[in-house]
Amino acid sequence: MFNDIIQYILGLGAAIFLPVIMIILGLCVKMKIKKAIISGITLGIAFTGMNVVLGFMFNSISPAAQALVQRTGLQLTAIDVGWAPISAIAWAWPFALFMFPVQIIINLIMLALKFTDCLNVDLWNVWGKILTATLVAYITGSVVLGFVAGGIQVILELISGDLVQKRCYEATNIPGVTCTHPMFLQGPYLALINKILDFVPGINKVNVDAAELKKRIGIFGENSIMGFIVGGLIAFLGGYAIKDILITAMSVATAMVLFPMVAKLFMQALAPIADAAGTFMKSKFKGRDFYIGLDWPFLAGCSEVWVIAIVLVPIELVLAFGLSQMGLNKLIPLASIINIVVTPPAMIIARKNLLRMFIMCIIATPSYLIAATQFAPQITQMAADTHTLQTQTGQLISWMQIEAPEFRWSIVHALNGDASGIAGIAIFAILFVWYFMYMKKRSNAQLSKKE
Percent of the chain, pLDDT > 70? Answer: 86
In a domain, 22, yes or no: yes
In a domain, 53, yes or no: no
Using alpha carbons only, give the angle 198, 203, 207 rounded to the nearest 5 degrees: 90
On the question of pLDDT at 434 being above 80, the answer is yes
Nearest to 363 by CA among 327, 427, 316: 316
Residues 6+ apart with CB under 8 A from 133: 93, 95, 99, 146, 147, 149, 150
- What pLDDT score does 353 carry? 92
In a domain, 64, yes or no: no
What is the extent of the structural domain holding 244? 2-48+92-450
On the question of pLDDT at 363 being above 90, the answer is yes
**According to the per-residue pLDDT averaged within each range, which of 19-33, 136-150, 382-396 is highest?**
136-150
Which range, of 136-140, 147-151, 221-225, 443-447, averages the lowest pLDDT? Answer: 443-447
Span 302-315, average pLDDT? 86
On the question of pLDDT at 89 being above 80, the answer is yes
In a domain, 72, yes or no: no
In a domain, 63, yes or no: no
In a domain, 109, yes or no: yes
On the question of pLDDT at 1 being above 70, the answer is no
Task: Please name every residue paired with 78 in a beta bridge, in sequence order, or none if there are none.
Answer: 331, 396
- What pLDDT score does 451 carry? 43
Top pLDDT among 450 and 441 is at 441
- What pLDDT score does 21 carry? 77
In a domain, 360, yes or no: yes
In a domain, 76, yes or no: no
pLDDT tens string 370-402: 999 999 999 988 888 877 766 666 678 899 999
Q: 211-246 b/e with 16+ CB inside 10 Å = b?
A: eebbeeeeeebbbebbbbebbbbbbbbbebeeebbe
Nearest to 328 by CA among 380, 376, 275: 376
Q: How many domains does the chain have?
A: 1
Q: How far is CA 31 from CA 39, 40, 42, 273, 293, in A?
A: 10, 12, 15, 8, 19
pLDDT tens string 36-47: 888 888 888 877
Which range, of 16-25, 165-174, 176-185, averages the lowest pLDDT? Answer: 16-25
